[in-house]
Amino acid sequence: MTDSIQAAADALRRARTITAMTGAGVSTASGIPTFRGADGLWKKNRPELLASREGFENDPRLVWEWYDWRRQVIRDAKPNPAHDVLAAWTRRPGFTLITQNVDGLHEKAGADPLIRLHGSIWHVRCWQPCDAGRRPWRDDTAPFPALPPKCPHCGDLVRPGVVWFGENLDHEDVAAATAAARCDVFLTIGTSSVVYPAAGFVHQARSYGAVTIEINPETTEASGEVDISIRGKAEEVLVELSSKFEV
Ligand code: OAD
């Protein structure tokens, strides 16, 4: 691992533009479960019931019980050293941070700017949507006093402000991430690299000529494609990398 960290630090030092994309693995050290790991959320729950328009149409209360529970787990979680290092790097000119995470921990650590591909669990919007409730707004209530929560504008239901399976990502976020994939170094951190279009950015970056680096304790769908594989935990590897690479 030491050799691959050194190689990654060398690539980062040489780079003018750097893009990092994160997944659920950067938040495990903060006590938030991943989706596909041993205790992953999708091991015990069916995504099509809990994270799709059809699931919500079918049983909005069940969907909201699940999101309400996750919001309570996430509410008290604190950023870990992986979030802290990445937040510091966002202050470097030419650095772009993209996340698939909806937990808000990059923001809590001070990451700015941040491209959030899958929305935020702290946002809600009108399910209909009514005119006033069309755009997502922040609502930190956790737990909600009654489920499912109602739209304050029209009285219909609100839905979580996250991207569900089968839904399109915000086109401005996709455009920003696509532009950021044209970089000198692309890091893919703590993601199983199976959910598209997010999983495609590392391949795009490589095709544009970026040095690609993966940080993950396990092998993933992207492992065979990247230039440098660092088999380790994000919260440890990023701290070591940051000691070798000053922003
Ligand atoms: P996954 O649960 O699919 O993958 C988490 C990855 O984190 C795995 O590859 C783990 O090996 C790795 N991991 C675990 N602990 C780690 C640590 N300490 N440091 C680094 N890596 C670690 O989560 P995502 O790839 O984020 O989408 O999942 C992608 C999307 O699928 C999510 O955004 C969500 C989910 O369904 C939506 O909700 C639309």
CA of residue 192 to ligand 1 center, whole Å: 5
Q: For the domain bounded by 36-76+125-162, which CATH number is listed?
A: 3.30.1600.10
Q: What is the pLDDT along the chain (247 residues), one digit of tens a residue?
A: 789 999 999 999 999 999 999 999 999 999 999 999 878 888 888 888 899 999 999 999 999 999 999 999 999 999 999 999 999 999 999 999 999 999 999 999 999 999 999 999 999 999 999 999 999 999 999 999 999 999 999 999 999 999 999 999 999 999 999 999 999 999 999 999 999 999 999 999 999 999 999 999 999 999 999 999 999 999 999 999 999 987 7
Q: Sketch the domain layout of the chain as residue ranges.
A: 1-32+79-118+170-247, 36-76+125-162
Catalytic entry in 83, 106, 118, 123: 118
> What is the C-alpha separation between 134 and 129, in angstroms, rounded?
5
- Check residue 38 and give its pLDDT: 78
Q: Which atom of ligand 1 is nearest to the CA of 24?
A: 26
DSSP 157: B
Closest CA to 30 of 117, 141, 109: 109
What residue owns the CA closest to ligand 1's atom 23?
A: 24
> What is the C-alpha separation between 85 and 234, in angstroms, rounded?
10
**Is 118 among the residues known to form the active site?**
yes
What residue owns the CA closest to ligand 1's atom 35?
A: 35
Phi and psi at 60, nearest 5°, equal -60, -30
Fold classified for 1-32+79-118+170-247: Rossmann fold (3.40.50)
- Check residue 41 and give its pLDDT: 85
Beta strands 119-126; 137-138: pairing state: antiparallel
Q: Give the 3-state secondary structure of residue 222.
A: coil
Q: Which atom of ligand 1 is nearest to the CA of 233?
A: 19
Pocket flag, ligand 1, residue 36 (CB < 6 Å): yes
> What is the C-alpha separation between 193 and 92, in angstroms, rounded?
26
- Check residue 33 and give its pLDDT: 93
CA of residue 22 to ligand 1 center, whole Å: 8
Pocket flag, ligand 1, residue 218 (CB < 6 Å): yes
What residue owns the CA closest to ligand 1's atom 18?
A: 233
Pocket flag, ligand 1, residue 167 (CB < 6 Å): no
What residue owns the CA closest to ligand 1's atom 14?
A: 25
- Check residue 56 and give its pLDDT: 97
The alpha helices in 190-247, defined as continuous H runs, are 201-207, 234-244
Q: Retrieve residue 199's tokens.
A: 């999983």
